[in-house]
A and B are shown apart, each in its own frame.
Chain A
Amino acid sequence: MLIAIARRLALSLVTLFMLAVFVFVATEIMPGDALDVSLSADEIAMIPPERLAQMKRDLGLDRPAHERLGAFLGGVVQLDFGRTLMSKTPVTTIVGYPYRNSLILAAAVLLVAIPFALAIGIAAAVWRGRPIDNIVSTVAVIGYSIPEFVIGTVLVMLFAVTWPIFPATITASTRDPALTLLAASPLAVATVVIGSVAYLARLVRTGMIEALASDFVERLRLTGIPEWRIVFRHALPAAIIPSLTAMALYAAALVSGIVVVELVFAYPGLGQELVRAVTRREVHVVQAIALGSAAIVVALNLLADLAILALDPRTRRA
């Protein structure tokens, strides 16, 4: 067991190192630099070229790439992503609250989506082939296929413009308390929940169908255990174990991957910060967000692996 954990930890560290190098290279090949986008055409027209060159030197934009890679990796080890190029603000200050806000949104979505997905997925599996299963399967495919920005826009049109019940766009501040932020974001949460329920319900349904058709469930049925008990006490845990990795990856994707939803509703999360940083060529911020998101994926994947190791004795032998 310990060896298996150590192996997975080591693998995660190697993955993180490779990701750090990849993130650095990817941000290096972006065209332009922070100075290009921070100056207006008015300013460029009036500032002499030698002054522009000096500004570039002052920002360290003329240092060779390998020097910057060394400094970047050294900083990553200490969780120090440096400072923004233009205002010299610590990058951790810039990305701290957006990380928190994306985690709040993801947590709220999962809190609502998981119970719904479990209920719907279980019902569809238990009544497999019946009308309820057909409806759930069809709606899930549609819900999962429709892009989130379409769902978001429709919800805005219905519940913010036609019937102004909820706000169309989020005006809360980045540093507002979690509850204030969530109170301002019902449509954003609903948009992600719809897609999430559709995805997770399909996952649960598939796992449950497999579990309910397995030999051990058949044996339990023969012993006369009530069907509801078989479903919830025996089949459900068995169904969830294989889905854990997929669920963990989905949760990670929620934190870093709901850029579109954040943009539709102007939610002050990582997605908005990433777009802003790319637009402004704030390379250090882009690196921190990209690497942080990758680290969340690796960490959740590791947690899922460890959970599977703990729950399923067969995997410990691998």
Chain B
Amino acid sequence: MSKLTRRSALLGATALMTAFDSALLGSAFAQPVLPKRGGTLVYAQCSGNRRGGDASNTKHPYFMIDLITRSAYNTLTWVDEGLNVVNELAANLAPTDDKLNVWDVTIREGVKFHDGRDVTAKDWASSFELHRRRNFASQQIKSTEVTGAHSLRFFLDAGNSEFPYVLAEYDNVVMPANDDFEKIGMTGIGTGPFRIVEADPQRRMVFERFDGYWRKDQPFLDRLEVINREGQMESAINGFRSRQFDAVLNIDPRLVRQLTAEAETEVVPASSGDQAVIILPKHPGSPFLDVRIRRALAYAIDREAIQRIVYGGARFGWLGNDSHMAGTDPMFVGRPIRRDVAKARALLAEAGHPNGITLPTLYYAPQWPEMGRYFQVIQETVKEAGITLPIEERPNDGYLNFRQGDADVTKGNWHKFAYTAVGPRNPGISLFRMRGANNESGYWSGPGHDRYLALYREAMVTADAAKRKAIYAEMQKICYDEVPAILPAGRNNVLIRRPNVRGLNNHPQHWSITWDGVWKA
């Protein structure tokens, strides 16, 4: 042990005082780091984009979704990283009455298209004529009416308390008015922070800063280059390592540990991301007609093991609650029932399977790279409850048709005991997916289902968010009581970036990442 001398005591005291001073002065006089303007940011995008365009339509907002939507275009609202809806080009948005089927929007003034023209309500009305015909979430819009130069009214086919979320959907951008549905949006002229200067279909998009952008002093970057590396993650990561890319979006969580150890690499997870739905078909002869077997399976799956083994922990994976709700949603209610192997065995015995049960084959496709190990973990953990679960991987191509079979079950081509991936959305859209008429619920029916749908309808015309939250909580409770489907765990989207890339945040909806505030130090 070293001896305390006068010299060392004085030195220690000086060091302490210096540290105290710098901490005090540092906090009092610290200047916020101002974003630096200029520069080019090159990033690679790895997520599968099933609507990749071609030479004729690459600049259209419906194509190359992940690559252009939030760079070249804007919507009326935007869903933030916490899945809260906020205004974007809408200055004000409100229903006309408590039926919630007519909504008035006041549009932000002073917004310009990339060609310098002012955006008016006519452009929005014309854009929504396309969206309500083509966008899946906008089909509830019966019509629109221009009520002023900067105001618009939406007429819906039924009340929707969460209509602002519909307006945030990635397709629902504003484009210069055009009555021809085949031509509108083809020019690539939007209102976004960057304008398209080069478009190589499904491969590369180059943008330059739009000086007339409505957010003053943004964007910070002069140029943005997006390289599409769908299905070529290794190529993207090699590009990052060789310093060709400043960031790579949507990487496999399995690479996180390795990348975290690499120099000049920051791993940024989102608060959530897609989750897996295990569809439990309820056609004649299916074991899942019996709610006890559905519950037994839900009890037997070790969700924490999936989170731990497949995603490497809570930072990169989250636990589902057997509804389509995203774990990061403020209205998400955690599943109160933990894994209970004894209870699973008791339920199986009660259902006439005291010695365990062999379930039909569970099919999955590798829509995300981790799906193979995801189902291996499930297969192993349910064994403890006496459940034998054969699993089989199918190719992504044609998988949708394969798993859905015929909607008409009298043809004998039953829908399968199978997996699908779902993205995080608002409660209204998410919970509606468990309706009996949708394959993802395994065509669920019965009193529980009827109660669920009645609650959904009530929520859609309930303007008060707190009351809606209570309704949604009850709907989620029905899901983990009746187990129409099992949604054990989900992924957090992961991106990597260089330390000098600032303001680039990850998002549970990988298509909703914004580039306005991104800059390079």
Chain A residues close to B by CB (< 8 Å) = 30-33, 36-47, 49, 84, 87-89, 93-94, 156, 160-161, 164, 167-169, 171, 173-175, 263-266, 268, 275-276, 278-281
Contacts and interface: CB of A to CB of B under 8 A. Distances in A.
B400 A169 contact: no
Contact of B51 (A38, A167, A173): A38
The 8 closest A-B pairs by CB, nearest first: A32-B398, A31-B398, A168-B238, A168-B242, A160-B242, A46-B136, A173-B200, A169-B239
28 contacts: A31-B397, A32-B397, A32-B398, A32-B399, A32-B402, A36-B398, A37-B400, A38-B51, A40-B50, A41-B421, A42-B136, A42-B425, A43-B136, A45-B440, A47-B136, A47-B139, A87-B57, A156-B238, A156-B242, A161-B241, A167-B244, A169-B232, A171-B225, A173-B203, A173-B204, A266-B227, A279-B397, A281-B398
Interface of B: 42, 44, 50-57, 136-137, 139, 198, 200-204, 225, 227, 229, 231-232, 234-236, 238-239, 241-244, 395-402, 404, 407, 420-423, 425, 433, 438-440
B54 A94 contact: yes
Nearest to B440: A45
A268 B204 CA distance: 11
B54 A84 contact: yes
A299 to B, nearest CB: 26
Given A87-B56, A276-B202, A37 B242 contact: no
A229 B435 CA distance: 85
A122 B203 CA distance: 43
A169 B51 CA distance: 23
A171 B227 contact: yes
A161 B396 contact: no
Nearest to B232: A266
B208 to A, nearest CB: 16
Contacts of A167: 239, 242, 244
A5 B434 CA distance: 68
A47 B137 CA distance: 9
Given A32-B399, A33-B401, 9 more contacts: A38-B50, A41-B421, A46-B137, A167-B242, A168-B239, A168-B244, A169-B236, A173-B204, A266-B227
Contacts of B231: 275, 279
A169 B440 contact: no
Given A171-B227, A173-B200, A265-B235, A89 B402 contact: no
Contact of B397 (A49, A161, A265, A278): A278
Contact of A37 (B236, B397, B438, B440): B397
Contacts of B422: 41-42
A173 B203 CA distance: 7
B238 A87 contact: no
Given A31-B398, A164-B242, A42 B139 contact: no
A46 B137 CA distance: 7
A41 B420 contact: yes
B137 A36 contact: no
Contact of A44 (B53, B243, B400): B400
A108 B236 CA distance: 25
A275 B231 CA distance: 10
Nearest to A49: B407
Nearest to B60: A87
A168 B126 CA distance: 44
Chain A CB within 10 Å — which of B54, B225, B239 has the most?
B54
Contacts of A87: 53-54, 56-57
A37 B235 contact: no
A242 B402 CA distance: 50
Contacts of A156: 238, 242
A152 to B, nearest CB: 10
Contact of B438 (A39, A45, A93, A94): A45
Contact of A266 (B53, B229, B241): B229
B401 A171 contact: no
A36 B238 CA distance: 32
A161 B204 CA distance: 22
A171 B42 contact: yes
Nearest to B236: A169
B136 A174 contact: no
Contacts of A45: 136, 433, 438-440
B196 to A, nearest CB: 13
A268 B55 CA distance: 14
A279 B396 contact: yes
B246 to A, nearest CB: 12
Contact of B401 (A31, A46, A266): A31
A41 B400 CA distance: 8
A187 to B, nearest CB: 10
A269 to B, nearest CB: 11
A210 B238 CA distance: 46
Contacts of B399: 32
Chain A CB within 10 Å — which of B203, B231, B401, B404 has the most?
B203
A59 to B, nearest CB: 14
A44 B91 CA distance: 32
A36 B234 CA distance: 27
A32 B203 contact: no
B400 A31 contact: no
B203 A174 contact: yes
B421 to A, nearest CB: 7
A93 B201 CA distance: 11
Chain B CB within 10 Å — which of A39, A87, A175 has the most?
A87
B272 to A, nearest CB: 16
Given A43-B136, A276-B202, A266 B235 contact: yes
Chain A CB within 10 Å — which of B52, B239, B404, B422 has the most?
B239
A244 B227 CA distance: 40
Nearest to B202: A276
Contacts of B420: 41
Contacts of B235: 168-169, 263-266
Contacts of A275: 231
Given A32-B401, A42-B136, A156-B238, A171 B204 contact: yes
A30 B359 CA distance: 29
Given A31-B401, A42-B422, A169 B244 contact: yes
A9 B243 CA distance: 52
A121 to B, nearest CB: 33
A119 B54 CA distance: 44
A88 B57 CA distance: 10
B52 A280 contact: yes
A167 B42 CA distance: 14
Contacts of B423: 42
Contacts of B139: 46-47
A278 B396 CA distance: 11
Contact of B243 (A31, A89, A164, A278): A164
A262 to B, nearest CB: 10
